[in-house]
């Protein structure tokens, strides 16, 4: 039985993770944290998740939560994630990170920590999305330079970063498949008289509204035909189940920076 701690357990994703852990026969919720001053500190994690009392109260001391867990799952914000990462390193506890919006300095620190600690970092933990990553790579290689490529993503009104981490990862995969430099190829906005489209670019379009859980499309536009590869999530549970799967897999792994391609055995 793998004992899992959840950081940010009162949030939308945190509550879903609590439910996923409770419903998995191989895992147990060991601890749940929230930030200091949260009105949910002291509440039962199961009650918040709507699955009944679990006997695990939310605390605002991440050190205590990490100490009682085999692995920490963190879907919070970059600043909180980096604090938790340092605590996991000190305690020698592996961590699963689903936080998006990490800057380059934070990613470098995460890579350094992965030299001594096993970490799974992924922009999206859905099994379907990670299969989509492979499909869009195959399509890009097959279609080549004859097709213009755009990435379109949509999320709920509360999402604070754009484009989504999943959309950016799609762009990185597409750029690598076409032997392009991602930072040079990426186009995040278009306005006014911008001229003819540069065939080497990969455009991003972002939609925010309502309660959209997550939609991602890679659009390949050629002359006379168009191909679209789309993944639509209808519940956060698909991400939570993938994260729990990653947590179980991560326990016992050697130090290193892994992603869901490793967890699912899709690494080519």
- The catalytic site residues sit at 155, 159
**Alpha-carbon distance 256 to 118, whole Å?**
5
**Alpha-carbon distance 201 to 52, whole Å?**
50
Neighbour order of strands in the sheet with 226-233? 186-187, 202-208, 148-155, 214-221, 226-233
Length of the chain: 268
104 burial class (0-12, 13-18, 19+ CB within 10 angstroms)? Answer: exposed
**Alpha-carbon distance 113 to 108, whole Å?**
9
42 burial class (0-12, 13-18, 19+ CB within 10 angstroms)? Answer: exposed
**Alpha-carbon distance 99 to 110, whole Å?**
12
Beta strands in the chain (DSSP E): 2-7, 27-33, 58-59, 71-74, 95-97, 118-121, 148-155, 186-187, 202-208, 214-221, 226-233, 256-258
Tokens of 159: 């999402």
**Alpha-carbon distance 156 to 159, whole Å?**
6
């Amino acid at each position: 039985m793998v004992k899992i701690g959840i950081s940010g357990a009162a949030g939308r994703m945190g509550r879903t993770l609590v439910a996923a852990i409770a419903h998995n026969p191989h895992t147990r919720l060991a601890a749940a944290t929230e930030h200091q001053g949260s009105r949910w500190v002291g509440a039962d994690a199961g009650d918040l998740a709507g699955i009944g009392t679990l006997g695990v109260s939310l605390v605002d001391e991440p050190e205590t939560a990490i100490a009682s867990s085999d692995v920490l799952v963190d879907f919070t914000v970059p600043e909180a994630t980096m604090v938790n990462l340092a605590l996991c390193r000190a305690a020698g506890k592996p961590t699963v990170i689903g936080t998006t919006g990490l800057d380059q300095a934070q990613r470098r620190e995460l890579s350094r920590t992965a030299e001594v600690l096993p970490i799974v970092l992924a922009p999206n933990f859905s099994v379907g999305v990670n299969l989509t990553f492979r499909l869009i790579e195959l399509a890009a290689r097959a279609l080549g330079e004859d097709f213009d490529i755009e990435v379109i993503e949509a999320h709920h009104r509360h999402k604070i970063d754009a484009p989504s981490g999943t959309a950016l990862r799609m762009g990185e995969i597409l750029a690598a498949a076409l032997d392009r430099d991602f930072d040079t190829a990426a186009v995040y906005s278009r306005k006014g008289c911008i001229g003819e489209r540069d065939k080497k670019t990969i455009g991003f379009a972002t939609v925010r509204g309502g309660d959209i859980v997550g939609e991602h499309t890679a659009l390949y536009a050629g002359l006379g035909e168009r191909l679209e590869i789309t993944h639509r999530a209808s519940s956060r549970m698909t991400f939570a189940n993938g994260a729990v799967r990653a947590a179980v897999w991560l326990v016992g792994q050697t130090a290193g920076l892994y992603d869901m391609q490793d967890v699912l055995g899709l690494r080519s």
